[in-house]
Structure 1
Amino acid sequence: MASTLPLLALRTFVEVGQRGTMKATAEALNITSGAVSQQIRLLEDRLGFALFVRERQGLRLTEAGAKVHPTLLQAFQQIESAIQDLQQEQAKKVITISTVATFAASWLVPRLGHFNQLYPEIEVRVEATSSIVDLRRDRVDIAIRHGLGHYPDLEAIPLIAPVLVPVASPDLLDHEKIITPADCLNYPLLHDIDRADWSLWLSAHGVDRDPRVLRGSCFEDDFLLIRAAEAGQGLALVPIEYAQTEILAGRLVQVLDKPWPARFAYYIVTQPDVSEREELRLFVTWLLKQADSQFK
């Protein structure tokens, strides 16, 4: 017996074993009854024994045929299932989004359920990282980044400009009240990584430059700033949306009602051909509508 059996003959054997007649098998496989008979004869010749008993009503499996038929039937069912899974995977529309953890947790992820309801056929994968990504090399479709919008050879669409407010632990404020922006300088100031926002915020509120603005630790992530403020380490200047949960729970307080837009904004960063993929175009449009509705 040859080491490799003909696949079509095996498939024909499985179908005849299920259906019991040449005619029914021919219709299922879209071939002629003569071709069915030829494939069965080929397989039996290769095996060296009969697989069917020819009867007036059709074909009946021999003892040997009945022994191997369930295994081969299961094998072909598994092949069909694997092919269907592959086709479904290829047909699925997947979008990979890269953004910083703070933005993902506080703004993007809570809204994604709405997008999933609108477009259930599109799968959104969110990667939370503050590292610089190469949209082509890293297989990222859309990056949402906080910056000035300078991204060479890429499309940068303004999304939202967070409003910064000073927050602190209630325990930190027990010994001295904050009445004016200048009073913030009496406390350690917790900074973002470039230590720029406090200077700009104080300047916007008419406070002259002061060396005390440089005091305090700096953190790469706004959530780390919030945790440090909760721990009473100083005042943090953060987007109000990021601290809402802590403020409502009483773990933080907004020390002054003097918001000021950050000099940086969040941008949707894509490759120039984003409109060529419908799922990306739909997601970008949805993002912009979400941002627009937030400020209405």
Structure 2
Amino acid sequence: MTTSLPLLALRTFVEVGQRGSIKAAAEALSVTSGAVSQQIRLLEDRIGVALFTRERQGLRLTEAGANVHPALLQAFEQIEKVQQTLEQIKSRQTLTVSTVATFAASWLVPRLGRFNQRYPHIEVRVEATSAVVDMRRDRVDIALRHGLGVYPGLHATRLMAPVLVPVACPGLLAADAALKEPADCLDYPLLHDSDRADWRLWLAAHGVAQDPRAERGTAFEDDFLLIRAAEAGQGLALVPLEYAREEIVAGRLVQVLDKPWPARFAYYLVTQPGALQRPQVKAFADWILEEAQGEAAGPALACT
């Protein structure tokens, strides 16, 4: 039956063999010289073999000690590397953020590098979904949601309300048919989000009387699809300016009227009660509020 050797005694043997001195090994291990000598005697008694011989300059490994010392030294170096890895894992913090795909792609992800630079020890995992999230069951730390801010049992912080602008593919409008008034939009197919309310409300906000044409047209569940349909020339879309910024800059869409309008809904940062007391959640919440405030203060794109 194999004899189990005490780990502390093996560690002490490695230190003494590496330094050739009980005193130096004691300093490295932060123990007394007597404690080092006791561990060496314990190990030699357990295996029944002398591991060191005393010389004027200190201790020298016997043949038996020299045979096993390199392997044990390597083993303890590996253990130390594992301990360092475990410490790094312990110090690393993870954060799961759930949001809708369009907001993630158009707003959050392009800015996320700034958060990573500020908090390199926090690893962010972004889940893009429009489904209802059970934050406890799905292990979500933060949800970024578009709504009226009513989330029973959860803590909600308002981030920003998107500004809606009418956009279209440049080829949809004839060169001599530039839109001059909001009512002119009714002469074109209108593309809607899933609740079909935005065009009606936008037109009403700009003094256009109710018109059945405001309810017609294809509806899309996701703003990303709505923007793609507008790019394809299927009609006019009323979308958050930030979502279409890249397409406008690239010339794939044009803002057909300089008539922005605050959306009814806003974006909210949603957490479980007390979650903001966790350092990584608080750090992300503070950062995204700062980004949202900067967005609100930023310049808007002029119509093309």
Q: TM-score, normalising length from structure 2?
A: 0.87
Q: Matches of 1:203 and 1:221 in 2, distance apart?
A: 23
Q: How does 1:52-63 map to 2 (within 5 A)?
A: 52-63=52-63
Q: Does 1:233 align with 2:234?
A: yes
User: Which sits farther off after the overlay, 77-86 or 159-168?
Assistant: 77-86
Q: Matches of 1:178 and 1:211 in 2, distance apart?
A: 19
CA contact (8 A) 1:163 1:259 kept: yes
**Structure 2 unaligned spans of 5+:** 298-304
CA contact (8 A) 1:146 1:265 kept: yes
CA contact (8 A) 1:157 1:267 kept: yes
Q: How does 1:187-266 map to 2 (within 5 A)?
A: 187-266=188-267
1:10 partner amino acid: L
Give the superposition deviation at 1:284: 2.2
Q: How does 1:28-47 map to 2 (within 5 A)?
A: 28-47=28-47
* 2:87 aligned partner: 87
Q: How does 1:146-225 map to 2 (within 5 A)?
A: 146-174=146-174, 177-225=178-226
Q: Does 1:69 align with 2:69?
A: yes
2:62 partner amino acid: T
2:265 partner amino acid: F
Structure 1 vs Structure 2 CA RMSD: 2.4
1:251 partner amino acid: R
Q: Alpha-carbon deviations, 1:249-268, whole Å to 9, x = none? A: 11111112211111111011
1:8 partner amino acid: L
1:27 partner amino acid: E
The residue matched to 1:191 in structure 2 has which SS?
strand
* 1:104 aligned partner: 104
Give the superposition deviation at 1:59: 1.9
Q: Matches of 1:14 and 1:251 in 2, distance apart?
A: 69
CA contact (8 A) 2:91 2:121 kept: no
Give the superposition deviation at 1:117: 4.2
User: Which sits farther off after the overlay, 207-216 or 284-293?
Assistant: 207-216
CA contact (8 A) 2:160 2:296 kept: no
The residue matched to 1:89 in structure 2 has which SS?
helix
The residue matched to 1:95 in structure 2 has which SS?
strand
Give the superposition deviation at 1:60: 1.7
Q: Matches of 1:156 and 1:107 in 2, distance apart?
A: 19
CA contact (8 A) 1:162 1:261 kept: yes
Are the structure 2 counterparts of residues 215 and 6 from structure 1 closer, same or farther at C-alpha, using a change threshold of 3 Å? Answer: same
Q: Matches of 1:86 and 1:218 in 2, distance apart?
A: 51
Q: Matches of 1:124 and 1:141 in 2, distance apart?
A: 10
* 1:5 aligned partner: 5
User: Which sits farther off after the overlay, 64-73 or 244-253?
Assistant: 64-73
* 2:26 aligned partner: 26
Q: How does 1:121-160 map to 2 (within 5 A)?
A: 121-160=121-160
Q: Alpha-carbon deviations, 1:140-166, whole Å to 9, x = none? A: 222111011110011111111011111
Give the superposition deviation at 1:29: 2.0
User: Which sits farther off after the overlay, 19-28 or 98-107?
Assistant: 98-107
Are the structure 2 counterparts of residues 78 and 182 from structure 1 closer, same or farther at C-alpha, using a change threshold of 3 Å? Answer: same
Sequence identity (%): 72
CA contact (8 A) 1:2 1:46 kept: no
Equivalenced residue count is: 296
1:75 partner amino acid: A
CA contact (8 A) 2:19 2:25 kept: yes
Give the superposition deviation at 1:119: 4.0
Give the superposition deviation at 1:88: 2.8
Q: TM-score, normalising length from structure 1?
A: 0.89
